[in-house]
Amino acid sequence: MELRILAYDHPDATALIAEVQQEYILRYGEEDITPVDPAEFAPPRGLFLVGYLDGVPAVCGGWRAHDSDEPGFTDGDAELKRMYVVAAARGRGLARQLLAELERLALAAGRRRMVLETGTEQPEAIALYTSSGYAPIAKFGVYACHESSRCFGKEIAVPAVPSER
C-alpha cells in the first residue's frame, strides 16, 4: 500500500469519505454529524492520509489536533477521524498499517495522545483499536450522550524516564 498525505477535500479523499458516510448510514441510520473543517486536517495541526492499492484509493484516515481549551480534550490530543477501508480490501491488515502511520505522524507533529469516537455498530473498529492499545476514555463530542457511542484513547508519546544518579 502506498500512503499519501492529501488535503481532506482532495477528490480521492472525498470519494472515500463519502463511502464511509454511507457505511454510517447503513449501520446507524444517518451520516456522522460531527463538525469537520477540512482546514483542521492540514499540517502541522492535522493531516489526512489516503492509501492506494495498485493506484486505486482504498483506505483513508486522518487526525486533527485538540488541546485542553476544548471540552473533553487534553493538551497534545490528536483526534482520529474517517478511518475507512473499502470493502474489497478489508481483512488484509491495511487499517492497522494506516493507524500505525497516523500515530507516528501525530507523534512527529508533537501530539501525545490519540483519541477517537466510534460506536457499537462498528465492532471490527473497536477490535482494531483495543488490540492496538487503545483503552476506553470519557465520551466527548457530539455523540457524548449517545448510548451507542464509545470513545478510546492511547498515549503515543513515551513519557521521559528520570535518569538515575
Instruction: State pLDDT tens for residues 66-108.
Output: 999 998 999 999 999 999 999 999 999 999 999 999 999 999 9
- pLDDT per residue as tens digits for the range 19-65: 999 999 999 999 999 999 999 999 999 999 999 999 999 999 999 99
Degrees (nearest 5) of the Cα angle 39, 130, 76?
Answer: 40
User: At residue 23, what is the residue type?
Assistant: E
Q: Which residue has the cell 457499537?
A: 120
> Which structural domains are found in the chain, ordered by start?
2-155 (3.40.630.30)
- Average pLDDT of span 146-153: 96
Per-residue pLDDT reduced to its tens digit, 102-128: 999 999 999 999 999 999 999 999 999
Which pLDDT belongs to residue 164? Answer: 60
Looking at residue 157, what DSSP letter applies? S
